[in-house]
Chain A
Amino acid sequence: AALKDGLRSQVSAALKEGRVTPTELCQRCLALIKSTKFLNAYITVAEETALKQAEESEERYKRGMLVYGIPIAVKDKKNAAGIETTCASNMLKGYISPYNATVVQKLLDHGAVLLGKTNLDEFAMGSGSTDGVFGPVRNPWSYSKQYKEKSVPKCHSEDEESNWVITGGSSGGSAAAVSSFTCFAALGSDTGGSTRNPAAHCGVVGLKPTYGLISRHGLIPLVNSMDVPGILTRCVDDAAVLLGSLKKHDPKDSTTIQDDFKKKKLPNLTDVSKLSIGIPKEYHAPGLSSEILALWSKAADLFRNAGAKVVEVSLPHTPYSIVCYHVLCTAEVASNMARFDGLEYGHRSDTKDSTESMYAATRREGFNDVVRGRILSGNYFLLKQNYEKYFVKAQKVRRLIANDFVKVFRSGVDILLTPTTLSDAAPYTEFIQEDNRTRSAQDDILTQAANMAGLPAINVPTALSERGLPVGLQFIGRSFQEKQLLTVAKWFEKQVQFPVIQLEEVKRHDNAVFQHQKSASFS
C-alpha cells in the first residue's frame, strides 16, 4: 500500500524507523520495473549497483540523510559513472560515463539509490518520448482502471495494443517511472517544457527550477541558455526535498548563481488572502481543449473563493515564444552537437579516408532525422547572411518575452496560473501522424516561455479528463522564489486531491509491510 501511496515522506519514515530496509525497497522497485517493462520507461537498469548502494545505505550514520535509501531514476541525458548514457541515440550507444553529473552525485551523497536511466526522445528533442532509438515510452495511465473504463475498445483483442497513449516528452521515461511507482523521484531535463509536459500527461509533479539554481554539469546540453535539470515526484513536498538537496552553487557550472539558499521545510499555507494570482490571457491558446479551459477556470475560482486576488494579466509576446525558441534552440543545438565526431567517445564510423569524411559518416550514422534537421536549421540561422536576421532577432524577441514577465510580476502578481498542455495525452497512433517539429511547436506552447525567461514553473496534477487521463495545471513563479511557488503549489495540490492511479501491476506488489500512514512527516 505504501508503494501505492508512494510518497517519499512516508517511505522515508518507514526507512528511518527500520520497518523496511533500503535493500528491500530497492528490490521491490526492481521487481516492479521488470513487471512494467512494457512501458519501456527505462533504458538501463543498474540492478547491481543499485542493490550495492542500498546495502551501503544501511549503515546507521547515513540514516539522517535527506533522501536516504530513496530509489530514484535519472533521465538518460545525465552522466552517471560506470553506467551507459545514451541520450536514446545511436551516437552514444556503448558510451559509459566516466563521471557523475553534479545532480547525480548530490543525490548519491544524500543517500539515494540510483535504479537506472530512463528513456527519452533522442537528445531530448521532442514532446512525446517517441523518437528515441529504444522506442517510445508508454504512459502507465494507458493501463489504468480509470482509462480502461472510459475507453471504447474497437475490437477486443486490439484494445490494449492500439489504444495506449504517449507520456509526453522529452522526459517521458522519468515521468512514467515515477507514475508507475518504480521509483520515488526522477530527474529529467527541461528546455522547452520537457519535464512539465510529461508530468502533466502522467499525473505527476514536474518542477522546472529557475535557470541558474541547479548545476547543469554532467547534463548533456541541448540549449545552454535554457536547459535546467527537472524534478519529477508524486507530490510537491517530495519535489521540495529533492530541490533542497540539489540547489547549490557548483564551481563546475559557471552559470549557477553564488547565493546561498537555506534548506527549509515547506510551510503549510492556510491563508491565501495575501496572494495575487495572475491569469495570462494569451495562454488561452488556440487548440486548448474545452476540458482544460474549464479546469483552469475552476482553479482560478478556487483561489478566488479562498480569498486570493485573482487577476487577468497579459504577456503579449507569448505567441512568439515558440518561433523564438525554434531559432535559438536550433542555433545552440548546431553548436552543441558539434562535439559528436566519433573521435573521443561514442559511435565512430569505419570510414578512414579523411578526418572530415569520418566525422560526416559518423554523424550520418549516429543521429536521427530530428537531430540532423535541427543541426542543419541551426547552421542556416547562424550563416553570416542570416545571423542578424534570425539569431540576433530571436535574442531581441527573447528579451521582450522575458520583460513581459518582469512587468507582470512588478505589478504585484505573485504567481501565474496557466494550463500545462493543450489536451490530455494522445494515443500513440494519432501522435505520430504529425512530424516531430510540428508536434513540438504545438505542445511546447504553454511551457516554453518560462524557459525563455528562466523562471521556475511547476506542473501540479489536477484532475482526470473525460477519457480518464491526467490533466495538470502550471504555476509560474518569480526568479529564485521556488519557496513561494512550491508553497502555493502544495496548497493547490491539497485542494484538488488528484486520484491515485489504479494499476494492476502495482496491486500485485503491494505488501503488508507498508501500511498507509496518515501522519507521516519527514525528519
Chain B
Amino acid sequence: QKVSVEVLEHLEHLALVDFRDSEGVERLQKAIQFADQLHQVNTDGVEPMDSVLEDRWCLYLREDDVTEGNCTKELLENAREKVEEYFVAPPGNIPLPKLEERKTFLQGS
C-alpha cells in the first residue's frame, strides 16, 4: 500500500522538509512497513504511557516569578539577520507554492 502523492506533499508542507528523491520516499515506505509490526501486539485494555515517571507526579508548576532573563544580547548573537532587538524574517502569510507550481521531485511520481 503506497503512500499517495497528496499525502507526501502534505507531509512536506507540515514538516517543511523535502523528500528530495525516490530514496527519500522509499525510506518513508520502509518506515511505515516496519512500524506496521506494532499491530501484532495485543493492547486491549492497555493505557498509553506518556512518561515513565507517571507515578511520581514530578511535573509540577512553579511560582510565576521571574528568576532569570536580561540576556537579549546573548540571544541575538546567534541570529544571522536582526535589526536592533528584532529577529528579521521574510514576509509571512505567503503559503508555499502548490505542487504544480514548484519544481519538486514529487511531480514525477
Contact = CB atoms under 8 A, between A and B. Distances in A.
B38 A393 contact: yes
Interface residues of B, number: 56
Contacts of B51: 225, 255
A357 interface: yes
A454 interface: yes
A444 B12 CA distance: 28
A392 B37 CA distance: 14
A345 interface: yes
**Size band of the interface chain A makes with B:** 35 or more
Interface stretch (A189-197, A319-327, A424-432, A507-515): A319-327
Given A254-B58, A402-B49, A356 B31 contact: no
Contact of A453 (B40, B52, B91): B52
Interface string A84-105: 0000000000011011000000
B55 to A, nearest CB: 9
Given A360-B16, A380-B3, A395 B11 contact: no
A211 interface: yes
Contacts of A330: 31
A122 B46 CA distance: 35
B94 A353 contact: yes
B27 A320 contact: no
B56 A369 contact: no
A356 B16 contact: yes
Given A255-B58, A342-B80, A345-B78, A375 B15 contact: yes
B83 interface: no
B41 A327 contact: no
A317 B11 CA distance: 31
Given A257-B56, A320-B38, A377 B94 contact: no
Contacts of A377: 27-28, 31-32, 35
Interface of B is mostly: loop
B28 A393 contact: no
A398 B60 CA distance: 23
Interface string A229-256: 0000000000000000000000100111
B85 interface: no
A442 interface: no
A352 B90 contact: yes
Contacts of B41: 317, 320, 393, 396-397, 400
A326 B31 contact: yes
B53 to A, nearest CB: 5
B103 interface: no
Interface in B34-52: 34-35, 37-41, 43, 46-52
A254 B18 CA distance: 34
Contacts of B60: 254
A491 B96 CA distance: 61
Interface of A: 95-96, 98-99, 211-212, 225, 251, 254-258, 317, 320, 323-324, 326-327, 330, 334, 341-346, 348, 351-360, 363-364, 367, 369, 372-373, 375-377, 379-381, 383, 389-390, 392-400, 402, 435, 437, 441, 453-454, 479
Task: Please give me the 4 A-B residue pairs with the lowest Cβ-Cβ distance, nearest first.
Answer: A454-B52, A395-B48, A354-B94, A345-B78
Interface of B: 3, 7, 10-12, 14-20, 23-24, 27-28, 30-32, 34-35, 37-41, 43, 46-53, 56, 58-60, 62, 71, 74-75, 77-81, 87, 89-92, 94-96
